[in-house]
């Protein structure tokens, strides 16, 4: 395992769309391990592969309810709207109020390649949406309303 560099500010990779993971091989598993170590080392609650310079559709989220590792995440349902302040490991020192769904249903694959469906609310839903935005080249600053 290794701590990877988190891409910051105007790094062009943060604006690129990540590609679907076609095969969960040792490289993907190593990336997941490195992302875990990197996220926890940086005291983050989420991390997308693009933030460590890899254009793969992989996210991690841990808001204190346990670690979610998801490959090829896709929001299949959302409801409600909540405004709350966000920050980002890729934009240190920047915060802003962002509208996000109150609840989301997300499907994807776990590290073993099995399909999983997650129902998330509040901060957990917000963090998942934030990380999926990263996979689409969208930063939270694009969504700030206050």
How far apart CA 123 and CA 103 sit, in angstroms, is 9
Please report the beta strands in the chain, taking only residues with DSSP state E, as ranges in sequence order. Answer: 46-48, 58-61, 68-79, 82-86, 96-100, 103-109, 115-121
The active-site residue out of 65, 86, 119, 131 is 131
Query: Annotated catalytic, 131?
Result: yes
Q: In this structure, how many other beta carbons lie within 10 angstroms of the beta carbon of residue 11? A: 15
Give the largest CA-CA distance in the chain: 42
Rounded to whole angstroms, the Cα distance separating 75 from 133 reads 11
Strand partners, 60: 47, 69
Residue 104, beta-bridge partner list: 78, 120
The DSSP letter of residue 18 is: P
| Residues known to be catalytic | 131
């Amino acid at each position: 395992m290794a701590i990877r560099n988190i891409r910051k500010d105007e790094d062009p990779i943060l604006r690129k769309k990540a590609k679907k993971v076609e095969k969960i091989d040792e490289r993907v598993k190593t990336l997941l391990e490195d992302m875990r170590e990197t996220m926890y080392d940086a005291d983050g609650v989420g991390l997308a592969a693009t933030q460590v310079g890899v254009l793969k559709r992989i996210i991690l989220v841990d808001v204190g309810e346990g670690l979610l590792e998801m490959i090829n995440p896709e929001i299949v349902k959302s409801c409600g709207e909540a405004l709350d302040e966000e920050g980002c490991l890729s934009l240190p020192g920047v915060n802003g109020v962002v509208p996000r769904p109150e609840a989301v249903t997300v499907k994807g694959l776990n590290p073993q390649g099995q399909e999983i469906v997650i129902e998330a609310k509040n901060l957990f839903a917000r963090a998942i949406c934030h990380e999926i935005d990263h996979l689409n080249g969208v930063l939270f600053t694009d969504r700030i309303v206050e």
